[in-house]
Structure 1
Amino acid sequence: MELEAGVDSAGKADSYGRPQPFRLDQITGVMNALGTVGIFGLLVLINVDIVGRSVFNSPLRGTTELVSLAIVGIVFMQLPNTLWAGRFVRAELLIDVVVARAPRLADAIQGLFHVIGAAIMAIVVMAVTPELRSAWEIGDYVGSLGDFTAPTWPIRLITVVGSAFTCLTYICLALADFRRALRGTP
């Protein structure tokens, strides 16, 4: 049974419903899936490195650098879908009390929370975009020349794209919250 947007299985007001506008749920779902593929790739990479170290006494070069880059990329790929699905870590003790006593106020508070989240993600986009441009222009990399190098611009691009979609998701959630708060419907 599909739940009505704005109501969870317990009948409480909740921002995390369907559908998202602009097919945002499909785009963020694809990003989430690519992040999952990245996790599987990390699993393979780390295991190949372990076997290389243990059996052949020859580690896989660049494993540390690739893992550190990939973790950041995976987080930002999965961030918007995690937010939309309502799987962000949050303390619900206070909001549950407000939902029980004043659902419209709870929607307004959640809307404010989502506006602040959108602002933070917009700041991340604005902060990382110049770094992306710089990494692209100067050919920034991690690793050691002659041993292993990997460019940093792809991870910075993923950070910008993931933050932008997370900002857009926060905006969609805030609009839904404020719409419910104004209409007084769960």
Structure 2
Amino acid sequence: MKPATSTHVSEEPAEDLLPASRNPFDLRMILAVLGGVLLMVLMGLTVVDVIGRYLFNSPLQGATELTELLLAATIFLGLPAVSLANDHVTVDLLTDRLPFRLQPWRLALTGIFSAVILAIVAWRIWIYAGQIGGYGGVTTSLRIPIAPLGYFCAVCTAAGALLSVAVPLLDLVRRLKNRT
């Protein structure tokens, strides 16, 4: 975790490169709104299920399935948002002691490594979603197809991979241009 008194390079280059704007088609805004909508639906579903269960002794049928699907969608939608903001969880016990001039290079290498791992994960999720779709996998009680969620998760992971490499590399390029 980052110490409160750390003096190393800011690990939030996305704010300089991709400024938050008032444009309704801004990627940050789109991800935030979609994430908020998913969370509100998840919260509403839980409230209705709990009220139905305890006040009317009639839980919402399929609430568990819907909760699982919405939770997976929310988590994977958050991956590109975290990558865009460069807000991944980090533990920098040794790396914050590197010289200042090496920090952008370290972040770029970390971004490349993270992108490779995320790309592999996205590829495997895509294959798994294809397998689920191939045998017609659906949820137990509501019979909702599962494969589309798998493809959604794979696309979100791939977007996270692209952003994990693009944000620190763009920051490195910007810092190198500013030094000359």
Asked if TM exceeds 0.5, the reply is yes
1:107·1:180 contact (CA, 8 Å) conserved in 2? no
Give TM-score, length-normalised by structure 1: 0.77
Q: Which runs of 5+ in 1 are unaligned?
A: 1-9
Q: For 1:38 and 1:133, how far apart are their aligned partners in 2?
A: 24
| Residue-by-residue CA offset, 1:21-42 (whole Å, 9 max, x unaligned) | xx9x923541332122101101
> How many residues are aligned here?
168
Q: For 2:36 and 2:87, how far apart are their aligned partners in 1?
A: 16
| Residue-by-residue CA offset, 1:102-128 (whole Å, 9 max, x unaligned) | 222111111111011100110011101
What is the match of residue 4 of structure 2?
Answer: none
Report deviation, 1:134: 2.6
What is the match of residue 114 of structure 2?
Answer: 117
Identical pairs, percent: 28
Matched residue SS, 1:142: coil
Matched residue SS, 2:144: strand
Match of 1:107 among 95, 104, 107: 104
1:16·1:86 contact (CA, 8 Å) conserved in 2? yes
What is the match of residue 3 of structure 1?
Answer: none
Q: Which runs of 5+ in 2 are unaligned?
A: 1-6
Deviating more after overlay: 83-92 vs 167-176: 83-92
What is the match of residue 94 of structure 1?
Answer: 94
Q: For 1:78 and 1:126, how far apart are their aligned partners in 2?
A: 18
Amino acid at match of 1:159: C
What is the match of residue 16 of structure 2?
Answer: 18
Measured at CA, do residues 177 and 106 of structure 1 come closer, stay the same or move farther in structure 2, by a change above 3 Å? same
2:8·2:103 contact (CA, 8 Å) conserved in 1? no
Establish whether residue 168 from structure 1 lines up as the match of residue 166 from structure 2: no
Matches within 5 A, 1:105-184: 105-144=102-141, 148-179=142-173
1:77·1:162 contact (CA, 8 Å) conserved in 2? yes
Deviating more after overlay: 59-68 vs 28-37: 28-37
Measured at CA, do residues 116 and 11 of structure 1 come closer, stay the same or move farther in structure 2, by a change above 3 Å? closer
Report deviation, 1:170: 1.1
Question: As a proportion of its length, which structure holds more strand?
Answer: 1
What is the match of residue 4 of structure 1?
Answer: none
What is the match of residue 44 of structure 1?
Answer: 44
Give TM-score, length-normalised by structure 2: 0.80
